[in-house]
Amino acid sequence: MHHSHANTTRLGGASINDFLKHVDTPLNVIDLLDVFAVRNVLSDTLPTISDSTWPPKIAICTGAVVLHEARVLFIRERRQPSVWSIPWGFVEGKNLDGTLDPPEFAASRETKEEALVGAEIVGLLGLQNHASASGEPRLYFLFLCRPVRGEPTSDGVETDRAQDRSLDDILTWREPIDPFVRWVVLPVLAGEHMRIQPRADTPCLSFTGFF
């Protein structure tokens, strides 16, 4: 038996418009076979989005510049070669218990873990685009903080020393200091920094913003 294929979208040169026009017409068995063929062609040629690639992902690191009486909290990393730095760490995104871990929380957490100092966020100092050694994108959040409890003490795991340092200390320090951290901290100690205030009154309900 001969079937008319006047309205049938063929496999070759199929487009989305052809497909949409076709499905608006009555379909017989032969037509349905051609529709499935077009669908398979489109699925092979159009970009697909998987759970592993969408949404785009970027590692976020957060650092805490804890300022107290014209001195900034420094920690010395135990890894070799050891350098002096500020409390740093990755933003987890979500904790094991399901609670969120935004950058400002992570900055306070890292300060507590690495220097045993409780820190309160005063403002956002800035952002820095960066990349890992393998070229994966990273974004640094730098927060200005003030200490609210505890004395600088190394945790004995990630750090082996923790102490407050003044501007004169930084300028005359002979031990290795992370160059980016030094660049960030010097304007803070000189009183030449700017900060973006935290705001809890944004339309984003309970999420803190910086404006």
Whole-number Å distance between alpha carbons of 22 and 33: 12
So what's the pLDDT on residue 156? 93
Determine if residue 70 is left, alpha or beta; phi over 0 gives left, psi from -120 to 50 gives alpha, anything else beta: left
- Adjacent-strand bridge partners of 90: 61
Are residues 8 and 30 in contact, defined by beta-carbon separation less than 8 angstroms? yes
- Helix, strand, coil % over all residues of the chain, rounded to 5: 25, 30, 45
So what's the pLDDT on residue 205? 78
So what's the pLDDT on residue 21? 55
| Half-sphere exposure in the Cβ direction for 131 (13 Å, CA) | 5
For residue 14, what are its two tokens? 């199929």
So what's the pLDDT on residue 145? 98
Q: Which helix (H) or strand (E) holds 138?
A: strand 137-149
Domain ranges of the chain: 1-48, 59-210
Domain 59-210 is in which class? alpha beta
Under-50 pLDDT residues of the chain: 2-14, 16, 19-20, 25, 27, 29-30, 32-33, 35-36, 38, 41-42, 46
Can you give the pTM of this predicted structure? 0.74
So what's the pLDDT on residue 98? 86
- Name 166's Cβ contacts closer than 8 Å, sequence gap at least 6: 70, 71, 189
